[in-house]
Structure 1
Amino acid sequence: MNNKWRIIFTSLTASIMLAACGTSDVDPEKETTGNAIEEPAAPETDAGEDTSSENDAEIETDSDEKTSVDAMKDAVETASDEQDYSMMVFPGYKLTSEEPGRDSLILEEDSEMFMRIETTPKDEESYTFDELYENTLELLKASSDGETPVELTDEADLPQADDIKSVKGAEVDSPEGHFTGYVIEREDKLIRVTIYAKEDNEHLKDFKDMAATIK
């Protein structure tokens, strides 16, 4: 019990006892009313629940990071046949060339989940970084039959690497599927990746982590 309430409760109890001792005509068997003191209930708190939620979130984050590190240890650096870049490819994925200027990183067990990769050298760029991002928003909207893409603002949802100069991303969900697009700026090239995968699927994170290694 809170010390403040303990002192108040003790003082009131002592006062009642002294009053009782100084009164000789009180019938001990007479039922009294109005003098009972209820101990204040301690306020409820959900601090324990908050702490538990925070701990669960930290454990989940640590687990995700460990999974990414483990996958990266087994990844193989793979060069594109058609474009001037290489990337780390996790086990279970395959990099293939669709056509000049466009590759696909495919999940081998389900080819409907894949990441399309397009790169443009800085000295030959048709778009600026911002123009390519705006074009990517249009691409996502068209892919989802007119749904409006939502920009990804949390760094954890974007490809991250020390040598990435700029990165923007957006996602859109529709009956046709879940689509994510990233535009990445490196020292010598612009990179656009478009991911076709299920929302919150473990492979979506794999695609994002591998996109961060394109250089």
Structure 2
Amino acid sequence: MSKTIKLIITLSLSIAVLAACNTAEESTTTESEKENVTATTESKEVNESVETEDTKAEDAQKEEDTAAEETQSTLTFYSKGESKTEEVTEISGERYTLQAIPGFSLTPEEPGKDMLIYDQDDTVSMRIEALTTSATTFDDLVANTEQTMAAISEDYKPYDISAFVEGQNLSNSTAYVANFDTEEVITVVFLKADKLVRLTIYDNTEVDLSEAMIKMGLTIK
């Protein structure tokens, strides 16, 4: 075999090898680019999925907040056997705010105590005592309340407010009632966040706004 032919064969093989290498490199580059595109697409899809879930969570929270605001804008209660719904307005005491229906006025009584009075009949009212957990304990306030109720009537008894306190985020609560012919006295003690509150409600069968006053008192914050 002549040197010229060998040289031609060698050159041909070298060119073939180089071509194969270039093809392999191009193939590798193409595959790498495809992998990068795929990874980028998957990452984008994951991010979009996360953003969608976050958006859904935010929308759900906004709906809950709106519903809560709508719920707090009215108060529904029973009076003389009928269900009534009234719009509420926020009013402020010395250490708290509460939602009140029309026809009631808040009057300071003494430091730490206010009276929520029914405008049409001032014998119908609710004394509000708002304390902090640093001033006393729930158990001590309940014990003091029982002593007060015993002084009002030996026949006082526990009063079920479970239907009223549902969803109010209270840490603890209890209530008592004493009945006198057409009148009644109800005391409610509850712990809400860092506030200890005692409500003393004076009502009569002619007006019958005990439930309304209890529910107003439970909105204290």
Fold in common (TM above 0.5):
yes
1:79 partnered with 2:78: no
Alpha-carbon spacing, 1:151–1:177, altered in 2? closer, same or farther (3 Å):
same
Equivalent pair of 2:152/2:178 in contact (CA under 8 Å) = no
Alignment-derived partner of residue 110 in structure 2: 99
Alignment-derived partner of residue 165 in structure 1: 171
Distance in 1, matches of 2:119 and 2:152, equals: 22
Which sections of structure 2, spanning at least 5 residues, go unmatched?
1-75
Alignment-derived partner of residue 34 in structure 1: none
Alignment-derived partner of residue 151 in structure 1: 158
The sequence identity of aligned pairs, in percent, is 28
What TM-score, normalized to structure 1?
A: 0.60
1:195 partnered with 2:206: no
After TM superposition, give the deviation of residue 161 of structure 1 in Å: 3.9
Distance in 2, matches of 1:153 and 1:206, equals: 15
Q: Which structure shows the higher helix fraction?
A: 2
Alpha-carbon spacing, 1:137–1:110, altered in 2? closer, same or farther (3 Å):
same
Q: Which is greater in Rg?
A: 2
Q: Which structure shows the higher strand fraction?
A: 2
Alpha-carbon spacing, 1:164–1:63, altered in 2? closer, same or farther (3 Å):
closer
Residue correspondence of structure 1 range 38-117 to structure 2 within 5 A? 64=78, 67=83, 70-71=85-86, 74-80=87-93, 83-117=94-128
Corresponding letter in the other structure for 2:130: T
Distance in 2, matches of 1:84 and 1:152, equals: 26
After TM superposition, give the deviation of residue 160 of structure 1 in Å: 4.1
Distance in 1, matches of 2:121 and 2:212, equals: 14
Output one character per residue of 1:175-198: Cα deviation in whole Å (capped at 9) or x when no partner. 694110000101111000000111
Alpha-carbon spacing, 1:200–1:139, altered in 2? closer, same or farther (3 Å):
farther
Alpha-carbon spacing, 1:138–1:119, altered in 2? closer, same or farther (3 Å):
same
Output one character per residue of 1:107-160: Cα deviation in whole Å (capped at 9) or x when no partner. 00000110000011122x23x21221121121122234xx2310123513x444
Count of matched residue pairs = 144
CA RMSD of aligned residues (A): 2.6
After TM superposition, give the deviation of residue 200 of structure 1 in Å: 8.5
After TM superposition, give the deviation of residue 201 of structure 1 in Å: 4.8
Alpha-carbon spacing, 1:154–1:182, altered in 2? closer, same or farther (3 Å):
closer
Which sections of structure 1, spanning at least 5 residues, go unmatched?
1-61
What TM-score, normalized to structure 2?
A: 0.58
Distance in 2, matches of 1:200 and 1:167, equals: 28
